[in-house]
Amino acid sequence: MKETINVPEMFASHVFTEKTMKKYISEEHFKLYRTCIETGKSLPMDTADAIAEGMKNWAISLGATHYTHWFQPLNGGTAEKHESFIAPDGKGSVIMEFSGKELVKGEPDASSFPSGGLRATFEARGYSAWDPTSHAFVYDGSLCIPTMFFSYSGEALDKKTPLLRSVKALNTQAVRVLRILGDTETSYVTPMAGAEQEYFLLDKEMFEEREDLKICGRTLFGSKPPKTQQLEDHYFGSIKPRVSAFMKDLEAELWKLGIPAKTKHNEVAPSQHEMAPVYCDCNTSNDQNQLTMNLMRRVADRHGLVCVLSEKPFDGVNGSGKHNNWSIATDRGENLFSPGKTPDQNARFLLFLSAFIAATDDYQELLRCSVSYAGNDNRLGGNEAPPAIISVFIGAELQAVVDSIVTDSSYNRAAIKPIKVGIDSMPVIPRDTTDRNRTSPIAFTGNKFEFRMPGSSQSISGPNVILNTIVAEKLGEYADRLSSADERSLKEALHDLVKSELTKHSRIVFNGNGYDSSWIEEAKERRLSNLRTTADALPCYLTEKNIALMEKHKVLSRSEMIARDEIHVEKYCKTISIEASTLIDMAQREIIPAVSAFEEKLCSTALKRKDLIKKASLDVETTLCRRLAESNTTLMELLDRLNVALSDSPEFSDYASVRYFHDEVLSLMNQIREVINLEEVLVPESYWPYPSYRQLLFSV
């Protein structure tokens, strides 16, 4: 009999939600907890003790024996140090203890995490501090407490701390604007996010035979089979039983942890799929996406599969992104990017729309930096991903509204008069105002912006930190400009502000085909940045303009930005270095010997047939053997050059290092890929040492 899943009962059953908290602590302590959440005040220690005791008892009821401060270091993943609840009772037995002090603060060793020079290598102390806005959960027998992670001197060593700071900055400036617009009821504003997660599922046995996939997360060579995605039959196609079983198992695990997995489907490439949740506040969304990636890997293993989250596992086949759906909401549940139906709502929407467009234009290079790393370079600019040029798609309907404001001309639907912000009510804009533009890096989708540039393996914290901060900056500017207007002149001032901003920043709005080569030239004429690779983008990160922005809103200090820049540089160089070394190892140990073995077989066959074939032109074996011998010679020469390039590489210390690894090392790797791909086509499968693209993509 098929097991029935009770989703409402299962959902968040492993999460210490406020509903659950009320069952384990007193009403008085719960009210103090809520007050601290709403005001940002420190939690009294007796309340922390009460919450810790409740958490422990709840976790033990679910089979937990340990607790851990679950944090997100600067390597892009998650980290955890587990401590058991047990404490000796002095009588030869143990009791289960967990205090408020242990809940609120921990001290994991920070010596082996990336710090970018924020602390010396021998200084191991790092602190984790409970983030009470993110619910604790039970996972794999441990109570996991989401925390921030910082150094002895207080610098952020993680991805959560800057995110929380940026949330605070956006709230501060957005509430200022709302007050000026007459909103006296909204208490706080929260950025919202939802990460659509793309991934590949591969057979575990075949995956284990590919050293490049295991070490680098992507194939460093591989000849495309005759059929991949040309017939467009995999996208939204029927889900295979093995994959369906994985997806059902994954959803059950996600629902237990309160992750609202909503959508599942096949993606464009064979063996590629997508999971999308319902979007929520960006701090929770970030935590949930990190958990989702961890669970995908773990659940896949149960099914004899491997979940590959890298951006471009297979050259020439669709890569994987992570579309970040971003908006802003009030504590009263109002979406500030919803056009609304009244003049006041129209005015608010157009003001926040202007802020987003202007922020994207002013800080396009910084936004591009937020998604720049080696893995994403393999994907951005391809026909399955947005181009590297930042632009905003708003659609024909909204573009007509904007044009009416900018030019003071009639809105083209039924010759409506020019739209005056906050005076006339513009027409209702349907949620889907136009066809979806999959070529745009940032697209307005009715009540939110879809940022399509993040890569599938990255934390969404970085992009959201930038989005939150740059929009906070523009809203702060708007509040400053509008604060001097009295009630009678506010509407006119509001109209003039929106008009001037949309006019000034219109260059960033592009509703056309971002894949068309003509867009590159048009973008150049608009003076938009085209930072094609990480090597192009990283030098734009540490500009005085960007540092001033982050310091002004207390999101990142100068030293914290310098540290992150150093980490980005090191990570890029190390990634390419590891890939190059892996490629050399695989080619020298397996591919060259395999090709030589087949050459020997060809030569032996050619000698046996010598008397039968009188004309050399008919000697297929000799011709093929010569071709492979020449190819192997070329391959060995390129491998020698790659070895020298790695030996001569500079220290992983600056932008010149990044440029060297991109221009010299990666260039040689691509040449080697071409040679190996040619050999793979000529060598029988019985001789070829690694599973082919055909086997990997169609085995599940």
Task: Report residue 258: phi and psi, to 5°.
Answer: 75, 20
Say what the pLDDT of residue 603 is.
Answer: 87
- Token couple for 327: 């908006």
Domain range annotation of the chain: 7-157, 166-556, 571-697
- Token couple for 541: 């990160």
Task: State the Cα–Cα distance between residues 411 and 600, nearest whole angstrom.
Answer: 76
Amino acid sitting at position 348: R
**Contact call for residues 481 and 367 (beta carbons, < 8 A):** no
Beta bridge partners, 321, equal 455
**Contact call for residues 258 and 137 (beta carbons, < 8 A):** yes
3 state DSSP class of 451: strand
Say what the pLDDT of residue 541 is.
Answer: 97
Residues in CB range of 235: below 8 A, 6 or more apart: 229, 266, 267, 268
Say what the pLDDT of residue 339 is.
Answer: 84
Residue with tokens 């809105």: 411
Say what the pLDDT of residue 565 is.
Answer: 96
Task: State the Cα–Cα distance between residues 584 and 576, nearest whole angstrom.
Answer: 12
**Contact call for residues 442 and 360 (beta carbons, < 8 A):** yes
Residue of 561, 87, 202 whose CA lies nearest to 369: 561
Residues in CB range of 196: below 8 A, 6 or more apart: 263, 274, 275, 276, 321, 322, 323, 325
Task: State the Cα–Cα distance between residues 465 and 556, nearest whole angstrom.
Answer: 10
Q: How many CB atoms lie within 10 A of CB 79?
A: 20
For the domain made up of 571-697, give the CATH fold. Four Helix Bundle (Hemerythrin (Met), subunit A) (1.20.120)
Side-chain half-sphere exposure of 329, counting CA atoms within 13 A: 15
| Beta strands, E only, 339-484 | 392-393, 442-444, 449-451
Say what the pLDDT of residue 228 is.
Answer: 82
| Beta strands, E only, 346-387 | none
For the domain made up of 7-157, give the CATH fold. Ubiquitin-like (UB roll) (3.10.20)
Residue with tokens 């990190």: 290
pLDDT, mean of each 10-residue run, the chain (700 residues): 77 95 95 87 89 95 95 91 82 74 80 71 73 94 94 89 97 97 94 96 97 97 87 84 96 96 92 94 96 97 97 94 96 90 78 97 97 94 79 89 82 57 55 61 92 96 98 97 83 91 96 90 95 95 97 97 96 97 98 95 80 59 90 97 96 92 97 97 96 94
Task: State the Cα–Cα distance between residues 354 and 359, nearest whole angstrom.
Answer: 8
Residues in CB range of 217: below 8 A, 6 or more apart: 308, 309, 310, 313, 375, 457
Say what the pLDDT of residue 1 is.
Answer: 46
Amino acid sitting at position 644: V
Residue of 252, 296, 251, 257 whose CA lies nearest to 139: 257
Say what the pLDDT of residue 227 is.
Answer: 81
Q: How many CB atoms lie within 10 A of CB 588?
A: 15
**Contact call for residues 119 and 44 (beta carbons, < 8 A):** no
Query: What CATH number belongs to 166-556?
Result: 3.30.590.10
> 156-177 burial string, b = 16+ CB within 10 Å, else e?
bbbbbbbbbbbbbbbbbbbbbb
- Token couple for 555: 């999101």
3 state DSSP class of 676: helix
For 322, the enclosing helix (H) or strand (E) is strand 322-330
